[in-house]
Amino acid sequence: MVYPQFFWRPLFTCLALLTVLASSRAPAQETAAERRSAIEGIYPLMIEALETKNFGRARNICDQAIIWEPQNPMHHYNLACIEAQAGGDRLPRAFGALELAVALGFNDSSHLQKDPDLIPLHNNPRFAEIARKVADLDVQSRTTFNRPRKADPAPAAPLNAPPSSATTATPANAPSADTPAPAPAYFREGVPVGLFFMNRYWSFTSQLEKAAWYFAPDGTVFQNIEKGFSPEACAAHPGPTGVAKMDGRKLEITWRDGQKTNGDIERESAGFNWNMGIFTTVSAFPDAAAVVGVYEGGESLAATGDRTLATRRLELRADGTFSWDGVTFTGTTARTSRLAAAGSTVTTGRWDLNGYTLTLTHSAGATCQRIAFPYGDEKNLAKPHLLFFGGMMLKRIP
């Protein structure tokens, strides 16, 4: 468990704030400062609940902190401690929360190894892998542990207006006319525009959701965008599609089936937070050579049904050929192709990168075309640590 610097706050403040949280008519926190003050008040009660093994109460308080500060790795780390101590069927949830904390910048390897709250996880190989990742992190490029997440440096093009054509850099592998690029990231009357990587942790399913969301300039939203940004690709999008608008201070999306999702939107220099999700702007690879490498990963793909069941190895070679262990293509065209786990099968063929679109063509003719971009280190797009491809986050193998 992490004991924040604000732990000294008086207990009567905590009790008052907990009463507010428990009320169904509790007013929403209006500003980040107010949310931070509330979190400082309820944290001692969360720690007390954990120490007295009142795991349900501790979990509820921690979940509220995550709602208010979804990008703060401290809250996800503490949720992992709570779930680890709860034990039993909560252990998978502990690993999910801990992995998200690492993804958000947790980098204290010594604390991770010595924290007694995480001892129930130590005998699982998954913990050893997480510990290795934390040890490998560059602490200078990550959020300082045990402090609220600091604002990211302002991007070259602020997210409050479209960048001018005179200052917009064009990647060396700029999309061709038949593979248009997404609109540049900005906000239009409060509604986001552009391509964003979204990650969101669902504690009740122990799932770390990852997806590419495209907010078109006309207000149309494409969740799990797969094939591209042309009118034809957007019209054929198989995933959820909706229309976004601002309703006061809330972003509201009306989906194709009539259902609505709304919530406060909190803008960040590198994106925004909404509906428990963290939305981050992304960039295309500078050229096709930058994606060459060997990657590993295995997790849920897009909501349209693709799925891998174990770690897979994807190799993209400089000669334009690829091999993908344990994955096969189904269907015969880029429009209908799907990916499926296939045991020891090795799929081979040729690959092509055009802007944000990576196309894999099986040697038998089936084609798989998905959105792809580097992630994890904007200063090293030429050889990124992570590759997002079709709903998967794959790690480059040195």
pLDDT digits (tens, 9 = 90+) for 227-278: 889 888 899 898 999 999 999 889 999 999 999 999 999 887 668 989 988 8
Q: State residue 4's pLDDT score.
A: 58
Q: How much is the pLDDT for 391?
A: 80
Would you place residue 353 in the very low, low, confident or very high pLDDT band (cuts 50, 70, 90)? very high
> Averaged over 4-23, what is the pLDDT?
41
Say whether pLDDT at 85 is over 60.
yes
| Model pLDDT, residue 364 | 80
pLDDT band at 205 (very low <50, low <70, confident <90, very high): low
Angle, CA of 147, 151 and 155, to the nearest 5° = 155
pLDDT of 274 reads 93
Q: Are 143 and 108 contacting, i.e. CB atoms less than 8 angstroms apart?
A: no
Residue 145: predicted pLDDT:
37
Local confidence band at 298 (pLDDT 50, 70, 90 cut-offs): low
- Are 151 and 267 in contact, with CB atoms under 8 Å apart? no
Highest mean pLDDT among 66-70, 116-120, 162-166, 276-280: 116-120
**pLDDT top residue among 262 and 145:** 262
Percent of the chain with pLDDT over 70: 70
Please report which helix (H) or strand (E) contains residue 378, including its range: none
- Give yes or no for a contact between 358 and 290, defined as CB atoms under 8 angstroms apart: no
- For residue 319, is pLDDT > 50? yes
Report whether pLDDT(381) > 50.
Answer: no
Question: Where would I find the H helices in the chain?
Answer: 11-22, 32-51, 55-68, 73-86, 91-103, 109-114, 125-136, 231-235
Confidence of residue 45 (pLDDT cuts 50, 70, 90): confident
For the chain, which residues make up each domain, given as ranges? 5-141, 186-281, 288-396
Lowest average pLDDT, out of 153-157, 168-172, 262-266, 292-296, goes to: 153-157
* 247/257 Cα distance (integer angstroms): 20
Between 100 and 21, the more confident residue is: 100
Terminal CA-CA length for the chain: 33
- The answer, yes or no, to whether residue 209 has pLDDT greater than 50, is yes
Does the 288-396 domain belong in CATH 3.30.70.1380?
Answer: no
Q: Which of 263-272, 352-361, 383-392 has the highest mean pLDDT?
A: 352-361
Yes or no: say if 345 and 351 are a contact pair by the CB < 8 Å rule.
no
Produce one character per residue of 19-55: b if its CB has 16 or more CB atoms within 10 Å, e if not.
eeeeeeeeeebeeeeebbebbbbbbbbbbebbeeeeb
By CB atoms closer than 10 A (0-12, 13-18, 19+), residue 84 is buried
Q: What is the CATH number of domain 186-281?
A: 2.40.128
Average pLDDT, the chain: 76
376 sits in the region (left: phi over 0; alpha: psi -120 to 50; else beta) called left
More confident residue, 67 or 292: 292
What lies within 8 Å, CB to CB, of 343 at 6+ separation is: 326
Give the confidence band of 222 by pLDDT, cuts at 50, 70, 90: very high
Categorize the per-residue pLDDT at 330 as very low, low, confident or very high, splitting at 50, 70 and 90: low
CATH 3.40.50 applies to domain 5-141 = no
Fold match, 5-141 / 288-396: no
Tell me the per-residue pLDDT of 177-190, one tens digit each, with 9 for 90 and over: 455 789 888 888 88
pLDDT (0 to 100) of residue 365: 80
pLDDT band at 103 (very low <50, low <70, confident <90, very high): confident
Query: Taking 70 as the threshold, does the pLDDT of residue 148 lie above it?
Result: no
Q: Give the confidence band of 159 by pLDDT, cuts at 50, 70, 90.
A: very low
**pLDDT band for position 356 (cuts 50, 70, 90):** very high
> Mean pLDDT across the stretch 300-328?
68
Which residue is associated with the tokens 């300082």?
144
6-24 average pLDDT score: 39
More confident residue, 309 or 357: 357
pLDDT recorded at residue 219: 94
Give pLDDT, residue 382: 52
